[in-house]
A and B are shown apart, each in its own frame.
Chain A
Amino acid sequence: KNQVEQSPQSLIILEGKNCTLQCNYTVSPFSNLRWYKQDTGRGPVSLTIMTFSENTKSNGRYTATLDADTKQSSLHITASQLSDSASYICVVSPGYSSASKIIFGSGTRLSIRP
């Protein structure tokens, strides 16, 4: 069964610190993996996307990694800011599929404290 598991479920860190969020998936065949940021009460917004051949992608202070062999991805946030407080959702797209077949993780709720 195609699944996406994220950890931790929630995380609290101090402003300025770094953190890493994890995503493990069992989706096969694999097309691409996205990380979304969802602010409270808002819709998800795409941060990064990686295909099979890419193992790292950066977007400002956000760096995503992908190990397609172990089916693991991580999202690293550097020098966290209060505005980073949000849910981060890992989304995996099966190969040869359409948008309606993508699989969402449950998300990691990140809180940044001053």
Chain B
Amino acid sequence: ETGVTQTPRHLVMGMTNKKSLKCEQHLGHNAMYWYKQSAKKPLELMFVYNFKEQTENNSVPSRFSPECPNSSHLFLHLHTLQPEDSALYLCASSPNDEAPGGARNDEQYFGPGTRLTVT
């Protein structure tokens, strides 16, 4: 266990549905991240929250909407998705995304992911 949990682990949704992914970290970290992982491609950073403030939106379509109510919880709200959005969605946390330069500061701890299938 990495200290980062994600629910649900699997999700199948139609293109007109609305669903949410949840992530919770028990590590006392202040930064949380959403990544998309498609087959044979590197992890793609989607959103970054540092101390509950969104600090990065990596040109993600508006059908993905993040929410970070506190430093321990992160949500990804999904609506009107496309089949190409099917992927493994990973949540991660780190101590502080604005603390540069150093192995201790930039280590990320990943959750188990949500396998999303859009039909």
* Interface residue ranges, A against B (CB under 8 Å): 4, 9, 31-32, 34, 41-46, 49, 51, 89, 93, 95-107
Task: Tell me whether B74 is interfacial, beta carbon within 8 Å.
Answer: no
Contact check, A95 vs B101: say whether CB atoms are below 8 A apart.
yes
Beyond A51-B103, A104-B43, 13 additional contacts (C-beta under 8 Å) are A31-B102, A43-B2, A43-B91, A44-B110, A49-B103, A97-B106, A98-B96, A99-B94, A100-B31, A104-B42, A106-B40, A106-B41, A107-B42
- For this complex, 11 residue pairs linking A to B, each with C-beta atoms less than 8 Å apart, are A31-B101, A34-B107, A41-B113, A43-B6, A43-B91, A44-B110, A93-B103, A97-B106, A99-B97, A99-B107, A102-B108
Known: A43-B2, A45-B2, A95-B101. A102 touches B106 (CB 8 A): yes
Do B115 and A41 touch across chains, with their CB atoms under 8 A apart? yes
Contact indicator per residue, chain B 83-106, by CB within 8 Å of chain A (1) or not (0): 000001011101011111111011
Q: Report the tally of A-B residue pairs with Cβ distances under 8 A.
A: 78
Residue of B nearest to A50 (CB): B103
Distance in angstroms between the alpha carbons of A43 and B111 in the assembled complex: 5
- Interchain CB contact under 8 A, A96 and B100: yes
Chain A min CB distance to B93 (Å): 9
B108-A99 in contact (CB<8A): yes
Q: Which residue of B lies closest to A105 (CB)?
A: B42
Residue pair A43, B4 in contact (C-beta under 8 Å): yes
Contact A31 B94 (CB under 8 A): no
Q: Do A43 and B106 touch across chains, with their CB atoms under 8 A apart? A: no
User: Which A residue's beta carbon lies closest to that of B91?
Assistant: A43
